Amino acid sequence: MLYIFRIVIILSAFLSWYAAASTTKTTAHTIVHHSRIYRHYSHINKHQGILHHTHHTLKHHHLTKLQELRHVRLVKHKIFHAYYGWEGTPYHFGGSSHRGIDCSAFVMKMYRQVFHRYLPRTTLGQVKLGRRIRKDQAKLGDLVFFKTGHNERHVGIYLSNGDFMNSASSRGVSISNLHHIFWKRHFWQIRRLVTI
């Protein structure tokens, strides 16, 4: 009888130990499983967040570029509209009317009409404005300066592809190009007064 009683006690103890071990294993497995699920969905949510942010950034960038192109197109339209009002006007040193106009007066009037900015009357006054940039960085609206003589300076408004509008002594208000031998020889600097 005592022998049977000892067997029952040992068996009970073993069953209790096995049940506890199984519960611990199941709990540990559940924790690991839940941890994996959490990491999986966290990764998905994080990835989706990145995709959403990237999509939003690209969309914003696309709209910004589109708005920039529209703005440049509008400014170009305004510049040429103003230019055609002066095209062919003869050059006259010191002049500032349709009877005759010099380079700095032409630039001054164009800037006032297109950009609503008041520039100095003289080329030497205008060359002190803005910041100097490289020729290959020139953009629409930049001022192009030349040293055409010992004490003579000339200015025009850059357009694109080397073209610039100016009031030249030879042709009056017209469009010239930086690659022309005369302008290439006398080129001085380019300055940016407005950002387009």
Instruction: Establish whether 166 is a catalytic residue.
Output: yes
Say which of 34, 60, 166, 180 is annotated catalytic: 166
> Crossing angle for the helix pair 103-115 and 2-84, nearest 10 degrees?
130
Instruction: Establish whether 154 is a catalytic residue.
Output: yes
State in Å, rounded, how far the first CA of the chain is from the last one: 105
User: Among the residues of the chain, which ranges form H helices?
Assistant: 2-84, 103-115, 123-126, 181-186
Place of tokens 């960085």: 137
Residues near 108 by beta carbon (within 8 Å), at least 6 away in sequence: 96, 118, 119, 120, 121, 126
Say which of 56, 154, 177, 179 is annotated catalytic: 154
C-beta of residue 93 within 8 angstroms of C-beta of residue 102: yes
Say which of 52, 55, 103, 161 is annotated catalytic: 103
Positions marked active-site: 103, 154, 166
